Structure 1
């Protein structure tokens, strides 16, 4: 299989949690020690890790850089880190704390000039665009607001500005363990064959991973399905 499995660690109060449909009231704690969880993933052969600072997303500034640094220094995992990134200083702090990539979402919609400057300053290999969708419509502000853009228009715009990689979360599927719309991710890869396309939200089974791999999707971010042992690593 060419598709890369990327487990997710979502952080609230320094613990590994998962939400359903992004609702903070649905949080379930899976491990109170994120470093321990990261080492479990690494021991099972995982190479990549996706960390979301949910407290940072609320605060508008990363809150768990110490956890990031611990995982980065005590494992060999390639980490992307996101949550609450509004300023260049946050990107610098995340990269200096050991992440290889910074995942950025709402800023790319709400302040495109700033996002473009980040692509220029840090390069496409360091910036991982995080796109949330309902249907084909782009969402911002923790899924509260719908953008005028479709995901296809949006990615095309940033591709022309130097974007090289993105992940897309179908919020109707995220954390629900109900499967995912594989055709949608296949269409993204077909339209953007030169970009690294990562599926996120709704990956429930090994069959989902196999289907995404057949469609040429590069990676899949998986959370609850791993913690609930529906996908074994």
Structure 2
């Protein structure tokens, strides 16, 4: 199982939100590159980088941060936030991202994201399945769609998608544990899909449980910054 630390960016700084609420923001570091280097030193190989400014503006606004991390570390970066066009995808790739995450756009413009999967390949386009109460959340999590989580995943599997970042918005940033039951059901229902858990991961025990049910990866954010999981704790998961 891949351990994927998260860096969320507002104004060039490393922050965390609670339930995606921009009024519940906490800044952890003014230099995201130094944070990324700490992940490298811990033996981690991947990074989930989210441009929160871009998510609100619907276009990437922190590409300079992406480029700085990409040029100063060897992390495999998936980038999300504001990816609304093929131009923004190319900008992210040019700045050093190896993958992009299609979130709200995957709900609003299904045919466009289907085209991206065909053009760039499923290894380059991750589908962001952000959910609350088993329905997909959109527009920086500010709105609920009428699309169910399972129907959303089934649809994109038919379009060739392979990897899904599934974020339980109701748990994100709360340090109260992940949606393990929901993930268990997804793994059982869609055995060919690769699921990455996000939201609520708090302890090493959470990671052990998610590994046991067959998750492909786990994104960890606030738990690292608050110290409920230390980078040293992750040694057992680092290949």
Q: Same fold (TM over 0.5)?
A: yes
**Equivalent residue runs for 1:152-171 within 5 Å:** 152-171=150-169
Q: In the alignment, which of 24, 31, 34 is matched to residue 32 of structure 2?
A: 34
Q: Look up the match of 2:77.
A: 79
Q: State whether structure 2 residue 203 is matched by structure 1 residue 205.
A: yes
**Equivalent residue runs for 1:1-233 within 5 Å:** 3-233=1-231
Deviations 1:64-107 (A, max 9, x none): 11111111111110000010111100001101111110011111
Q: Aligned partners of 1:180 and 1:60: how far apart in 2?
A: 28
After TM superposition, the structure 1 stretch with the greater mean CA deviation from structure 2, 180-189 or 30-39, is 180-189
Q: Aligned partners of 2:25 and 2:18: how far apart in 1?
A: 7
Q: Aligned partners of 1:146 and 1:60: how far apart in 2?
A: 17
Alpha-carbon distance, 1:26 to partner: 1.2
Q: Aligned partners of 2:77 and 2:59: how far apart in 1?
A: 18
| Aligned pairs, number | 231
Question: 4+ runs of 1 displaced by more than 4 Å?
Answer: none
Deviations 1:169-190 (A, max 9, x none): 1111000011122111111111
TM-score after normalising by structure 2? 0.94
TM-score after normalising by structure 1? 0.97
Q: Aligned partners of 1:101 and 1:192: how far apart in 2?
A: 22
Alpha-carbon distance, 1:43 to partner: 0.3
Secondary structure of residue in 1 paired with 2:66: helix
Secondary structure of residue in 2 paired with 1:102: strand
Q: Aligned partners of 2:14 and 2:37: how far apart in 1?
A: 13
Q: Aligned partners of 1:124 and 1:46: how far apart in 2?
A: 23
Deviations 1:12-40 (A, max 9, x none): 01000001111111111111001100000
Secondary structure of residue in 1 paired with 2:140: coil
